[in-house]
Structure 1
Amino acid sequence: MRALIIDDEPDNVRLLALQLNRHCPQVELVGQFTDSTEGLRAIQTLRPGLVFLDIEMPIMNGFQLLERVGDINFHIVFVTAYDQYAVRAFRFSALDYLLKPIDTVDLIATVRRAETTARINPQQLELMRQYYPTGTAGINPPARGRIALPHASGMVFVDTKQIVYCEADSNYTRFHLEGGQQYVVAKTLGDVQEVFESRDFLRVHRQYMVNLEHIQKLVKGEGTYLLLTNGVSIPVARQQKDRLMERFGWV
């Protein structure tokens, strides 16, 4: 498998090259670049099967570089410094990534996946753009607004205000929108929770996460539940009541 490394930090490039040479004999390293413009030219001329790509780079970041590539007919492994929100974004988008400093065991497993799995598709990349934090003033949660939901027949972009609640459905999550529209996404509710709780959503039950803007009433009795704007009642787990009160500032 012909591979390139594109990372603006020379030490990271040298270390990754050393690890590949020692532990991944199936990889032929055909180029190492600390300049994103040179890396782009190398992709176009050397036609690698695998690219290790840093995201945060000067001149062109990883996403901008991929936009200029056009059709992506190679595997991509994103390389990034550790950040909890960034990791959530990678997982939600089902993309391969390695955290700096790169662990050898993780590297070997990632290369093996690249040998056997399908290459990146544009929808995965669009999801990553949606959820990956950007900006120079630190890591920012995504702004409220439209969000991409991958489903069986493709991808739909919806306004988060339209999402009333999310429901766990085995290893899937069912998104319930205003007007009764539903979308089933191939992510667990735990995966969805990691991304959406920065957008005024709260998991109130092992099976449900609600949009706080769609809560009409909290009803207490034998079992606490929420009445939502679409008329649906959602149970609130005992251990989640305090979190709900904290988010609303109720007394």
Structure 2
Amino acid sequence: MKTITAIVIDDELSARNVLSNLLSRTNKNIEVITTCSNLEEGVEQIKKFKPDVVFLDVQMPNYAGYEIVRFFDVINFEIIFVTAFNHYAIKAFELNAIDYLVKPIERSKLDSTVEKIEVKLKQKSALTDYNSLLKSIKEKDFNKIVIPELGDRRIVNLSDILAIQAEGAYSKLLLKGNKTIIASKNLKHFEEILPKDASFFRAHRTWIVNLDHVELLNKTAQTITMSDQTVKVKISRTRIEAFQKKLSSNSLN
């Protein structure tokens, strides 16, 4: 699981420090990227850093924590309310299925809460994949791929991919418009999931190229120049013949 990024918003410095310290001691991969003393500052930092989860004190000056919905058209991060409310008020959180922590925060309850966050974030990723699949089937559009990007999922048109380069356990996707995506999957993953009839070719142990974007093959230098002229791809000498055959076949289609 990727590192979960968090922001803590509480008007009490000691409360911010305690929660940040407790989160650092969990056995979960969670990082507090910043803390804020009021909701207005917190909103600015949320928009800047786009965290996975916000730990939000309920009672604060100027704005109560639950008023955060006033500042966002869409809440695309998890919210964990932190409260000193009595048990009767807490019932409102439970009835509305809202996650919360009670001050003073118990370590075991915090661990359980972070586990819930992990599950929810995984479900979001799965939902992205599932919705993309349903859309492809419905529209008979098999020209898109879900990229497991670092910390997120992104849907990319296959035609926008110039080449894919191995980066250890990761892969770098070079896209049209001089754009780059770092994917949390190795090159073998993409070789296996790319449609067999798509215009992709494994040119080298560290490269997959999109034949539709090939501009020039230099056999002597063992390089392929892609259509935007800035991307040069390695090709193994033993793959040159197969590459030329695939390129010719692709140009006839």
* TM-score of the superposed pair, with normalisation by structure 2: 0.45
* TM-score of the superposed pair, with normalisation by structure 1: 0.45
